Structure 1
Amino acid sequence: MIKSLQNHSGKILFAVVLTFLSFLAYNLYIAPVQGFENKFIYLLKTYGYVILFAWSTLEGELGLIMAGLLIHDGHMNLYIAIFIAGLGGFVGDQVYFYTGRFNKAYVHRKFKGQRRKFALAHLLLKKYGWPIIFVQRYMYGMRTIIPISIGLTRYSAKMFAFINLISAWCWAALTIVPVWYFGEEILKVLHWAKEHWYLALPFAIAFGGSIIYYFNKATQKVDRKTLEKEINSEN
């Protein structure tokens, strides 16, 4: 039974995502309020923990930010939200890990165009060891690749699960707590951005672009000969 679940971990994640999106769409449609924004807020207040768990499985900080704001307004409990968000993040990475561990042919076929990232993930694991598991949640562009890549190696599944669980709860706390604490200030900023979106949009684009640029440069700094050797060793 367990082995069967592990072998179909990728399909399980797809089913979870599809179910989550269907759940959102249906409940948005039947929400007893007018307007998409009001419907979405109603949905968060009604099914907050369920949505938080599913969103955290996909490791989206936006879900955690929303949870922090709901906690600030008194619609969710801080400790329960951190526990559930961390559990969701843990489940998501475990699925990615077992996708690599038991579906190697599928991974090599599906991610053929991302061999450089997989090679980089292997190099980071060799160089830094277990801390790379702890910080991979903050490495945009590598967050899915690293758990799958570690699954492709002989790294201990028990050790990965333990570090992954601690990392997920830290990730949840480090995101939710500041949003909860500075909730009033964040709400004021969001209100200003909503009314002055034409001024806020360039800042959002610049911020997002700088993050992408930073991680692209960090990837390029890796020694090319070593990276090519790692890529060839996977073939």
Structure 2
Amino acid sequence: MEQFIQDWGYIALFLYSFGGGFLALAIAGAFSYAGDLNIYITVIVAGVSNFIGSQFLFYFAKYNKSYMDETVNKHRRKVAMVKTMLKKYGSFMIFIQKYIYGVKTLVPLVMGISAYNPFKYTVLNAIASAIWAIVIGYISFTAGKLLLSFADDFKYVGFFTVLLVLGILVYSFKDKKKVKKQ
């Protein structure tokens, strides 16, 4: 398992961080504490991936406005909330959105649709992505001992939980077959 993490950990981190998620960075930080990954490479990979992902969303919205108008209409309430937050916090919202689930994808899209300066967005996004990676990476690296001891203590509980869930699923599937036959 350790070799698998060392071989594929950075690739998985890059792909997950591209979408803005920080769970992979938190896990990679804990693995860095254990010595399976390098914390500096972990922070760099997550920061670069997050930057590229946000840039992609910004420019996708900027150059595909007709498609984005259709998409945004499906999420009017969330977009209205993001626009309100952008009016209230301005450019600082680029920094805030990195930490808020459900908003981190919409902010670059809404800013891309608007007349926001692409150069200014790129610079602020680079800084925000670096800060995000450093903060989450450092916290997870520091909490690595706690996270790994928690995982060690409950690995058998998790195994038995999976077995229990599978047993319940198999049992309920058999009951459905019996009901259909009657």
Q: TM-score, with normalisation over the residues of structure 1?
A: 0.63
Superposition misfits of 4+ residues, deviation over 4 angstroms: none
In the alignment, structure 1 residue 43 sits paired with structure 2 residue 4: yes
Corresponding position of 1:91: 52
Q: Map Cα deviations across residues 148-175 of structure 1 (whole Å, 9 max, x no partner).
A: 0010111111111111111111111111
Question: SS of the residue aligned with 1:130?
Answer: helix
Q: How does 1:71-86 map to 2 (within 5 A)?
A: 71-86=32-47
Q: Which has the higher contact order (CA 8 A, sep 6+)?
A: 2
Conserved in 1, the CA contact under 8 Å of 2:5 and 2:36?
no
Q: Distance in 2 between matches of 1:188 and 1:70?
A: 12
Corresponding position of 2:146: 185
- The gaps in structure 1 that reach 5 residues or longer are 1-37, 201-235
Question: SS of the residue aligned with 1:140?
Answer: coil
Q: Which amino acid in structure 2 is aligned with residue 140 of structure 1?
A: Y
Distance 1:43 1:112, change over 3 A: farther
In the alignment, structure 1 residue 164 sits paired with structure 2 residue 125: yes
Conserved in 1, the CA contact under 8 Å of 2:13 and 2:24?
yes
Shift of 1:57: 0.4
Corresponding position of 1:52: 13
Q: Distance in 2 between matches of 1:126 and 1:109?
A: 23
Q: Map Cα deviations across residues 74-127 of structure 1 (whole Å, 9 max, x no partner).
A: 222222211111010001111111121111111122342201211221222122
Conserved in 2, the CA contact under 8 Å of 1:57 and 1:90?
yes
- The gaps in structure 2 that reach 5 residues or longer are 162-182
Number of residues paired by the alignment?
A: 160
Q: TM-score, with normalisation over the residues of structure 2?
A: 0.80
Q: Distance in 1 between matches of 2:75 and 2:128?
A: 25
Q: Which amino acid in structure 2 is aligned with residue 139 of structure 1?
A: I
Q: Distance in 1 between matches of 2:41 and 2:100?
A: 26
Corresponding position of 2:137: 176
Corresponding position of 1:129: 90
Corresponding position of 1:196: 157
Q: Distance in 2 between matches of 1:65 and 1:117?
A: 27
Q: How does 1:188-227 map to 2 (within 5 A)?
A: 188-197=149-158
Q: Map Cα deviations across residues 47-93 of structure 1 (whole Å, 9 max, x no partner).
A: 22222222210122221022112211222222221111101000111
Aligned-residue identity in percent: 31
Conserved in 2, the CA contact under 8 Å of 1:44 and 1:51?
no
**Larger Cα Rg: Structure 1 or Structure 2?**
2
Q: Which amino acid in structure 2 is aligned with residue 118 of structure 1?
A: V
Q: How does 1:108-127 map to 2 (within 5 A)?
A: 108-127=69-88
Conserved in 1, the CA contact under 8 Å of 2:20 and 2:105?
no
Q: Distance in 2 between matches of 1:160 and 1:61?
A: 21
Corresponding position of 1:62: 23
Q: Distance in 2 between matches of 1:160 and 1:187?
A: 37
Conserved in 2, the CA contact under 8 Å of 1:98 and 1:151?
yes
Shift of 1:197: 4.5
